[in-house]
């Protein structure tokens, strides 16, 4: 999730926000907050199929035979972008410099999951 958020944030910085993909730009605030809460309860989930359900959302999860977790399409991408954007705003770090930081530092610094 974090890696995809960093990729979206980097692409937006290089090509402009108008080039942001709909998987992030069309995600509404209410769904974002709900998705964050669902993901907060699953921070320790491991395994490709299990994590994919959180990244892609229920529709794709069902198509691929993964367990649905109650999320909209591309929820992981939207939450990942939100994490990175929050980190950049709170710390003043550039997206370029953020690409060199450990995931745990960005996730904790974003405070999206309460500093976890």
Q: What are the structural domain ranges in the chain? A: 2-110
In this predicted structure, what is the pLDDT of residue 29? 95
Two structure tokens written together for 90: 């709170």
pTM (two decimals): 0.91
In whole angstroms, give the CA distance from residue 50 to residue 45: 7
Two structure tokens written together for 49: 């199929």
Each residue's pLDDT tens digit in the chain (116 positions)?
A: 888 899 999 999 999 988 888 888 889 999 999 999 999 999 889 998 889 999 999 999 999 999 999 999 999 999 999 999 999 999 999 999 999 999 999 999 999 998 56
In this predicted structure, what is the pLDDT of residue 81? 94
In whole angstroms, give the CA distance from residue 35 to residue 111: 15
Closest C-alpha among 69, 111, 70 to residue 87: 111
Roughly how many angstroms between the first and final C-alpha of the chain, as a whole number?
15
Contact 88, 98 (CB under 8 A): yes
SS3 of 94, please? coil
């Amino acid at each position: 999730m974090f890696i995809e958020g960093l990729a979206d944030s980097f692409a937006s910085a290089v090509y402009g926000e108008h080039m942001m993909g709909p998987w992030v730009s069309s995600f509404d605030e209410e769904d974002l907050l709900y998705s964050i809460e669902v993901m907060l309860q699953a921070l320790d989930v491991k395994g490709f199929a299990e994590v994919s359900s959180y990244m892609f959302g229920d529709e794709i999860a069902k198509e691929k035979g993964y367990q649905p977790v109650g999320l909209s399409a591309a929820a992981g991408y939207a939450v990942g972008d939100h994490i990175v954007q929050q980190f950049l705003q709170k710390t003043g770090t550039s997206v370029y410099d953020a690409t060199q930081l450990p995931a745990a530092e960005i996730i904790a610094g974003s405070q999206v999951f309460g500093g976890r």
